[in-house]
Amino acid sequence: MGHEPVLSLQKVCAYYGNLCAVRDVSLEINPGETVCIIGPNGAGKTTLLKSVSRVIPKVEGAIRYRGASTAGVAPQALVAHGLIHVPEGRQIFPSMTVEENIEIGAFAVPGGVRKDKTDAAMDMFPKLRERRRQLAGTLSGGEQQMLAMARALMGQPHLLMLDEPSMGLAPKVVSEIYRQVDLLRGRGVTILLVEQNARIALRNSDRTVVMASGEIRHQGKSADLLAGGLIASLVFGK
* Site residues, ligand ATP (CB under 6 A): 16, 19, 21, 39, 41-47, 88, 196
- CB environment 200-238: b (16+ within 10 A), e (fewer): bbbebbbbbbbbbebebebbeebeebbeeebbeebbeee
- Cβ proximity to ligand ATP, 47 vs 205, nearer residue: 47
CB of 213 to ligand ATP, least distance (A): 9
CB of 60 to ligand ATP, least distance (A): 15
Tell me which of Mg ion, ligand ATP, none is bound by residue 229, counting a contact when its beta carbon lies within the kind-specific cut-off of 5 to 8 angstroms. none
Q: Which of these, 151, 160, 214, lies nearest to 182 by C-alpha position?
A: 160
Identify any residues that bridge with 68 across adjacent strands, giving them in sequence order: 65
Tell me which of ligand ATP, Mg ion, none is bound by residue 157, counting a contact when its beta carbon lies within the kind-specific cut-off of 5 to 8 angstroms. none
Q: Which residue blocks in the chain are alpha helix, DSSP H?
A: 45-52, 75-80, 98-104, 111-124, 126-130, 141-153, 171-186, 198-203, 222-228, 230-231
46 binds Mg ion (CB under 5 A): yes
- Cβ proximity to Mg ion, 103 vs 163, nearer residue: 163
Encoded one letter per residue, x for contact with Mg ion by CB under 5 A and - for no contact, window 74-103 reads --------------x---------------
Tell me which of Mg ion, ligand ATP, none is bound by residue 142, counting a contact when its beta carbon lies within the kind-specific cut-off of 5 to 8 angstroms. none
Contact between 166 and 86 (Cβ < 8 Å) = no
Tell me which of ligand ATP, Mg ion, none is bound by residue 42, counting a contact when its beta carbon lies within the kind-specific cut-off of 5 to 8 angstroms. ligand ATP
Q: From residue 194, how far is each of 28, 84, 127, 131, 200 by CA, in Å?
A: 15, 14, 25, 28, 10
Whole-number Å distance between alpha carbons of 211 and 43: 6
Tell me which of Mg ion, ligand ATP, none is bound by residue 41, counting a contact when its beta carbon lies within the kind-specific cut-off of 5 to 8 angstroms. ligand ATP
Tell me which of Mg ion, ligand ATP, none is bound by residue 118, counting a contact when its beta carbon lies within the kind-specific cut-off of 5 to 8 angstroms. none
Mutual angle of helices 111-124 and 141-153, in 10-degree steps:
140
- Cβ proximity to ligand ATP, 43 vs 226, nearer residue: 43
Contact between 145 and 165 (Cβ < 8 Å) = yes
The residue with its CB nearest to Mg ion is 46
CB of 209 to Mg ion, least distance (A): 14
Binding site for Mg ion (CB under 5 A): 46, 88
